[in-house]
Chains A and B, each alone.
Chain A
Amino acid sequence: MIQLHLDAASGLSPYLQLVRQVRHALRLGLLREGDQLPTVKEVVAELAINPNTVLKAYRELERDGLVSARPGVGTFVTRTLTDATLASHGPLRKELERWLSKARLAGLDDESIEALFLSTFRSTSRQEVA
């Protein structure tokens, strides 16, 4: 079962953040078909958010065909978003971990690592588009 959280500094509305987190989990294979999502009660008790926010998020995921709500039981994953690339996640993650330890050894703090990654990511994305 995944843990959902809210980032107050994110520009996204709460329900969109929840949708995103579930989709990420689905992509990364953390959630597989048949897994149950946290119940509305559980999410709401942990995050202190309005139940409608969670319901809205789950409804959108249901509309996208990713989950299905079974009344009285819970909400279950019906389709994942993993694809052939899932197999490469393992080695890629290892490489990332190596890179991260190198960056830390070089003396970068968390903020610098994040800034370096994001700027490189964006500039490479633009290059690909161009």
Chain B
Amino acid sequence: MTPVLRTDALTKSFGRKRALAECTLDVPAGRVVGLVGPNGAGKSTLLNLAVGMLTPTSGTIEVFGEAPASGMPKVGFVAQDTPTYANLSVDDHLRLGEHLNPGWDHALADARMERLGLDRAQKARKLSGGQRAQLALTLGLAKRPELLILDEPVASLDPLARREFLGDLMEAVAEHELSVILSSHLVSDLERACDHLIVLVDSRVQLAGDMDVLLATHHRLTGPRRDSLPEEFDVVAATHSDRQSSLVVRTDTPIYDPNWTVTQLSLEDIVLAYMGRRANAAQPRTLEAVR
């Protein structure tokens, strides 16, 4: 099956500022992909490149095997801060979707409007943040894309609105077999919803792979303090107190060394370990996706 997103040494610079550097990714279809990283890491840049809003400075990017461009029928987008036309009503936005998308699912849009209870004559500028996000999600879903890309859709929403938004998104994934790429700086949201993760720090891909593989191959090792790092596994992060060393490592093989106490890591721990590394020491670590 064609990967939903494939990039090869993708780089994007704005003037002298490098927003994205040498990103190589291979994202299979049928996943809910979480894109996580601190602000300014390049998440928005990557997503905007994927929908054809930006063009690469160097390297390549392919969505469903083709270069992204404006107006792709297979890809839907919910941009950061969910832009809407302030003076157009909710109903106008739906008509916009209907007129501009041959694949528009009228029944889906109506059903969602019914469930959300939005006043269809209300102008978009009078909607709350959560309502605007739900409107944008409706537009994205009713287009019936094969891939829906969302750039920090819940960043400014209260917890209830966030839960409802993500719940609706997951329901659509269950019903329509939609692939999703979703960026956030909240790992907890992604942990529930995503089955594939990309960690972006300082414009580079630090980690990419299926969630269960990530959780199975990363461990915390605690033991007596050692200043030299062990060679046999990949040390992602290390912290030392005067008597103890704590390492976050990635390894495929079981760890038998009795000096170390091996514990599980939560997804947030893993992401934090990668986020704490220095950019210039970074090497992209791509795990084989389990198909």
Cα–Cα distance between A11 and B193 once the two chains are bound (Å): 18
Cα–Cα distance between A48 and B189 once the two chains are bound (Å): 8
Residue of B nearest to A56 (CB): B212
The answer to whether B174 touches A40, judged by C-beta atoms less than 8 angstroms apart, is yes
The A-B contact count (CB < 8 A) is 45
For the complex, is A49 an interface residue (Cβ under 8 Å from B)?
yes
The answer to whether B167 touches A48, judged by C-beta atoms less than 8 angstroms apart, is yes
Q: A40-61: contact bitstring with B at CB < 8 Å (1 yes, 0 no)?
A: 1100111111111010000000
Interface class of chain A by DSSP: helix
Residues of B within 8 A of A8 (CB): 188
Interface class of chain B by DSSP: helix
CB distance from B69 to the nearest CB of A (A): 30
The answer to whether B192 touches A51, judged by C-beta atoms less than 8 angstroms apart, is no
Residues of A within 8 A of B188 (CB): 8
Residue of B nearest to A51 (CB): B174
Cα–Cα distance between A39 and B133 once the two chains are bound (Å): 26
The answer to whether A41 touches B171, judged by C-beta atoms less than 8 angstroms apart, is yes
Residues of B within 8 A of A40 (CB): 174
CB distance from B267 to the nearest CB of A (A): 10
For the complex, is B194 an interface residue (Cβ under 8 Å from A)?
yes
Known A8-B188, A50-B32; judge A44-B195 contact (CB<8 A).
no
Residue of B nearest to A49 (CB): B192
For the complex, is A14 an interface residue (Cβ under 8 Å from B)?
yes
Residue of A nearest to B164 (CB): A48
Which of A6, A14, A44 has the largest number of chain B CB atoms within 10 A? A44
Known A8-B188, A40-B174, A41-B175; judge A48-B195 contact (CB<8 A).
no
The answer to whether B173 touches A51, judged by C-beta atoms less than 8 angstroms apart, is yes
Contact partner of A50 (CB less than 8 A), chosen from B168, B170, B264, is B170
The answer to whether B171 touches A45, judged by C-beta atoms less than 8 angstroms apart, is yes
Cα–Cα distance between A51 and B163 once the two chains are bound (Å): 15
Cα–Cα distance between A49 and B171 once the two chains are bound (Å): 9
Q: Chain A interface (Cβ within 8 Å of chain B)? A: 6, 8, 11, 13-14, 40-41, 44-52, 54
What are 26 A-B residue pairs whose CB atoms fall within 8 Å in the complex? Answer: A13-B215, A14-B192, A41-B174, A44-B170, A44-B173, A44-B174, A45-B170, A45-B171, A46-B167, A47-B167, A47-B170, A47-B192, A48-B167, A48-B170, A48-B189, A48-B192, A48-B193, A49-B170, A49-B192, A50-B173, A50-B192, A50-B193, A50-B195, A51-B173, A51-B174, A54-B174
